[in-house]
Amino acid sequence: MKKILAVDIGNSNIVIGCFSGETLLFTFRLPTMYAEDGRALCSEIESTLSGRLTGPGELTGSIISSVVPKATRTMRQVLEQLTGKMPLVAGVSLETGINLDHYDKKTLGIDRLIDTVAAKRLYGAPSAVFDLGTATTLSIIDRNGAFRGGMIAPGVQLSLLALHEHTAKLPLLKAGPSCQLIGSDTPGCMRTGSVISTACVIDGMAERIADELRTPSIPIVLTGGLGKIVAPWCRTKIHFEPNLLLIGLQILYDMNVRKEGPRE
């Protein structure tokens, strides 16, 4: 079966997944700064793929989600070179199966929309997605599959960075697992304040979202690079899907390319 590449370009990292049909075969990630040099980016992706694919003819297409416009332009050129076809770029103009009448399309981050496409397919509607990356975002769809909005807050690592930059003595820490609820030293207190407090936000919002949508409960989906360190502290039942956005991209590719026919 032919394979496609699904590419998620975030503020900090580029995550690339290779799908055969609906099956995610493998993923790899690169720093977003790689997209500053098209040749280096192409070489890095080719090098990674060479050990996992028998040849470039296996790739039948690609799709991009990006919140970094400059990186999008570079990635489009690279993917066209690798697959021989122009990549599909995710946007609100595509068929998504999500009603956007309740939200300003011009300000909606495409990553949030794609998250809900995947959540709807996997867990139905209504559902809510917490994506823990540079920012912590909440995206909600109601029982009719309409995007209702959500929340955007500083992410776990961004919170730690802000504490360091705006205080005189707090150290610069890298986000990591928190081992205890009550910190016993300053770094421990900072990690508790960023990691466990995010879990508390998820727990608190889950009940309030259900009340707002007038439903007994709602599936809570957790994704994003920092989801794995927050998930253990959540008391609410959550569905941890680290590759949710890649899954959503594959769904969008199938919905739109199948409808339009092969892209040349």
Q: Tell me the catalytic residues.
A: 111
Compute the distance between CA of residue 11 and CA of residue 19 in angstroms, rounded to an integer: 23
Compute the distance between CA of residue 137 and CA of residue 135 in angstroms, rounded to an integer: 6
Compute the distance between CA of residue 113 and CA of residue 105 in angstroms, rounded to an integer: 10
Residues 6+ apart with CB under 8 A from 6: 16, 17, 18, 19, 62, 63, 65, 246, 249, 250, 253
The radius of gyration of the chain's CA atoms, rounded to the nearest angstrom, is 19
Contact 36, 17 (CB under 8 A): no
One-letter amino acid identity for 26? Answer: F
Query: Rounded to 5 degrees, what angle do the CA atoms 91, 93, 99 make?
Result: 100
What number of CA atoms fall less than 13 Å from residue 36's CA on the CB side?
7
* Token reading at 106: 């011009």
Residues 6+ apart with CB under 8 A from 31: 12, 13, 14
Q: Which residues of 231-262 are buried (b: 16+ CB within 10 A; e: fewer)?
A: bebbeeebbbbebbbbbbbbbbbebbbeeeee
